[in-house]
Chains A and B, each alone.
Chain A
Amino acid sequence: DQQVKQNSPSLSVQEGRISILNCDYTNSMFDYFLWYKKYPAEGPTFLISISSIKDKNEDGRFTVFLNKSAKHLSLHIVPSQPGDSAVYFCAASDDGSSNTGKLIFGQGTTLQVKP
Chain B
Amino acid sequence: GAGVSQSPSNKVTEKGKDVELRCDPISGHTALYWYRQSLGQGLEFLIYFQGNSAPDKSGLPSDRFSAERTGGSVSTLTIQRTQQEDSAVYLCASSNRWGGAIGELFFGEGSRLTVL
Interface residues of B in 20-67 (CB under 8 A from A): 30-31, 33, 35, 41-45, 48, 50, 56
Quick one: CB contact mask for A42-82 with B, threshold 8 Å, 1 for yes? 11111001010000000000000000000000000000000
- The reply to whether B50 and A100 contact each other, CB–CB distance below 8 Å, is yes
**Chain A interface residue number, banded:** 20 to 34
B101 nearest CB neighbor, chain A only: A49
Nearest A-chain residue to B110, judged by Cβ? A43
A25 within 8 A of B: no
Instruction: Tell me if A45 and B107 are in contact (CB < 8 A).
Output: yes
- Interface residue tally of chain B, by bracket? 20 to 34
> Given B44, B48, B50, B91, which contacts A44 in the complex, CB threshold below 8 Å?
B91
Interface pair A98/B4, CB less than 8 Å apart: no
Contacts A105-B43, A107-B41; A100 near B31 (Cβ below 8 A): yes
B96 proximal to A (CB < 8 A): yes
Q: CB distance B109 to A103 under 8 Å?
A: no
